[in-house]
Amino acid sequence: MEPKKEKTAKKIEIHIPDKFENTYSNFAQFHMSNNDLIIDFGFSHNNIVKMTTRIIMSPNQAKVFSNRLNSLIETYDKKIREQ
């Protein structure tokens, strides 16, 4: 029997530019094309939405994003229940 190969995480460097901006969003619209998932984020106030950011990703990367987001939300929900 062949020994199991363990996956090792690749180390990546993340560089954040000096002018990196944070954006708050309380509104999102989702669109899809044959090759991309598009998420438009915005800020909604008094029934007016100002769109602020568009993120475009491949379906595969969208699945990775979705899985990680779901995991974070589950962790958040558990912490809220513990309070």
Q: Is residue 71 part of a domain?
A: yes
Spatial CA neighbour of 42 closest among 29, 32, 57: 29
Q: Is residue 4 part of a domain?
A: no
pLDDT digits (tens, 9 = 90+) for 34-77: 999 999 999 999 999 999 999 999 999 999 999 999 999 999 99
Q: Is residue 50 part of a domain?
A: yes
Q: Is residue 13 part of a domain?
A: no
10 within 8 A of 16, measured Cβ to Cβ:
no
Q: Give the chain's domain count.
A: 1
Q: Is residue 20 part of a domain?
A: no
Higher-pLDDT residue of 83 and 61 is 61
Determine the structural domain holding residue 48 and report its residue range.
Answer: 27-82
Q: Is residue 17 part of a domain?
A: no
Length, in residues, of the chain: 83
Q: Is residue 55 part of a domain?
A: yes
Dist. CA 80–CA 83, nearest whole Å: 5
Q: Is residue 49 part of a domain?
A: yes
| pTM across the whole model | 0.72
Q: Sort 33 into a burial class: Cβ within 10 Å, 0-12 / 13-18 / 19+.
A: exposed
